[in-house]
Amino acid sequence: MIVREHIFNIMRKSAKLFGFMPIDYPSLESMDLFRTKSGEELLSQTYSFIDRGKREITMIPEATPSTVRLLGAKKNIPKPVKWYCIPKLWRYEEPQSGRTREHSQFNADIFGDASPVADAEIIGLACETLNGLGLKGSYEVRINHRQIMEKILDSLGTKNITEGLNIIDRFRKESREKMIENLSGNLSSTDNAERLMDFISGKVQASKADERIREFFPNIPFEQFSENMNETISALEAWDYNDIVYDPATVRGLTYYTGIVFEGFDKEGKYRSIFGGGRYDKLSSIITGQELAAVGFGMGDAVLENLLREKNLWKAEAARNRYIIITIAEEAQKFSLKLAGNLRARGIEAATSNTHKNLSNSLRSATANWYTHAIIIGKKEMESGKVTVRNLSTGEQKETDTSGIN
């Protein structure tokens, strides 16, 4: 939990920096809320049950429906609003690395702002969070635009856009042969399938998106969407978030996205996506009956925790000074208690060791419990007012006035 608490702190701090306000919603929602949005299939992978009041309820498997429902219940808040939340979510699935049955997810959304800068503030917040965790340079954000992909699929004679997007979504999981086979079934020819496959196989620097699309599909009028995407990209550049690539294979499986879509990955490609999201201007009307521009992301804690552990990026957080006061002479007990109160009043983390085991046992227990320093108090220390501070990782000891502890 030291790692996770550190992650949550940086999430909250970054959200505030971008002007997002905290919200929360219940862990239990009516099953209908998810039926509306995602259908029965999602519900078959949830912890759902009938409660004592005979309601069909589910432990929330995702955050967005609750957020939108909440917004519908608070119709009068002047828009735009920027909200964040770090709820626990539950899915009944086989647990895998980076995907557990229970996890916490950082969610941030902007409602009532259709501008590309809102898209940039959402992606920027995700980047700021990763940067704050020390991951700058280790991740890339892959972005794309749903409507560009729909235009392309259209021009290639798709039989069903949703199905086409779902096939593209499996790009990194299927062989080229399998992809071509699936795309051929969706598009009007195998030639088209191959062209699309070649197109989605190449990521480029985000500012080169137009070039790349025009190279493959010179006759498609995609500019109104790419202009929008380019504005988002330049805002991100202005804020110094630079690891953004245009990736036509990023389409996001869920059907409700209507504009920009994006996912964050570690550059080495070892892990699942770190975060993902996009613009979803239609979802609100399904849930609340009122259309409302919306863009947001979700960022789970499990992949981040793995990344931070691998890169040892949490140790600094754990290594802040934590003192334990070990009293080796019964008569010094009062002195030790006073010292503990004193240090805490100065904002210094200090605990007392009270079990009167021998010193070496106390030191071993202190080290195992993440204390960084032991303050050892005997009769001599009590009388002189100078205490012995032992660094628990190096074993080094020094004498100091209590005012010298920090």
Residue from 197, 302, 340, 377 that binds a copy of itself (CB under 8 A)?
A: 340
Residue from 334, 384, 391, 399 that binds a copy of itself (CB under 8 A)?
A: 334
Query: Closest CB to a copy of itself among 369 and 391?
Result: 369
Minimal distance, residue 8 CB to a copy of itself, in Å: 10
Query: Closest CB to a copy of itself among 26 and 385?
Result: 26
Minimal distance, residue 252 CB to a copy of itself, in Å: 23
Report CA-CA distances (Å) from 342 to 325, 354, 398: 12, 17, 20
User: Residue 100 corresponds to which tokens in the numbers above?
Assistant: 């557990």
Query: Closest CB to a copy of itself among 90 and 265?
Result: 90
Q: Which helix (H) or strand (E) holds 167?
A: helix 161-169
Residue from 354, 384, 400, 406 that binds a copy of itself (CB under 8 A)?
A: 354
Residue from 28, 220, 329, 359 that binds a copy of itself (CB under 8 A)?
A: 28
112 contacts a copy of itself (rule: CB under 8 A): yes
Quote the CA–CA distance of 332 and 335 in Å, as a whole number: 5
309 contacts a copy of itself (rule: CB under 8 A): no
Quote the CA–CA distance of 196 and 184 in Å, as a whole number: 10
80 contacts a copy of itself (rule: CB under 8 A): yes
Quote the CA–CA distance of 361 and 99 in Å, as a whole number: 39
Contact 146, 259 (CB under 8 A): yes
Quote the CA–CA distance of 311 and 249 in Å, as a whole number: 28
Query: Closest CB to a copy of itself among 44 and 175?
Result: 44
Quote the CA–CA distance of 254 and 166 in Å, as a whole number: 9
Residue from 154, 191, 240, 331 that binds a copy of itself (CB under 8 A)?
A: 240
Minimal distance, residue 352 CB to a copy of itself, in Å: 6
Q: Which stretch binds a copy of itself (CB under 8 A): 212-220, 238-246, 269-277, 378-386?
A: 238-246
79 contacts a copy of itself (rule: CB under 8 A): yes
Neighbours of 378 (CB within 10 A): 17
**Which residues are within 8 A (CB) of 305 and not within 5 positions of it... i.e. 6 or more apart?**
3, 4, 7
345 contacts a copy of itself (rule: CB under 8 A): yes
Map tokens 């030291």 to a residue: 2
Alpha helix ranges (H) inside 44-160: 64-73, 116-132, 146-155
51 contacts a copy of itself (rule: CB under 8 A): yes
Q: Which stretch binds a copy of itself (CB under 8 A): 34-42, 197-205, 263-271, 355-363?
A: 355-363
Count of residues making up the chain:
406
Residue 88 pairs with which residues in a beta bridge? 104
Collapsing DSSP to helix, strand or coil, 396 comes out as coil
Minimal distance, residue 353 CB to a copy of itself, in Å: 8
Collapsing DSSP to helix, strand or coil, 306 comes out as helix
Shortest CA distance to 325 belongs to which of 291, 346, 354?
Answer: 354
Minimal distance, residue 337 CB to a copy of itself, in Å: 5
Q: Which stretch binds a copy of itself (CB under 8 A): 35-43, 138-146, 273-281, 341-349?
A: 341-349
Q: Which stretch binds a copy of itself (CB under 8 A): 30-38, 44-52, 176-184, 205-213?
A: 44-52
Query: Closest CB to a copy of itself among 42 and 348?
Result: 348
Query: Closest CB to a copy of itself among 102 and 396?
Result: 102
Shortest CA distance to 248 belongs to which of 224, 214, 274?
Answer: 214
Q: Which stretch binds a copy of itself (CB under 8 A): 72-80, 138-146, 202-210, 253-261?
A: 72-80
Contact 16, 265 (CB under 8 A): no
Q: Which residues between 7 and 26 bind a copy of itself (CB under 8 A)?
A: 12, 16-19, 21-24, 26
Quote the CA–CA distance of 131 and 134 in Å, as a whole number: 5
Q: Which residues between 168 and 227 bind a copy of itself (CB under 8 A)?
A: none
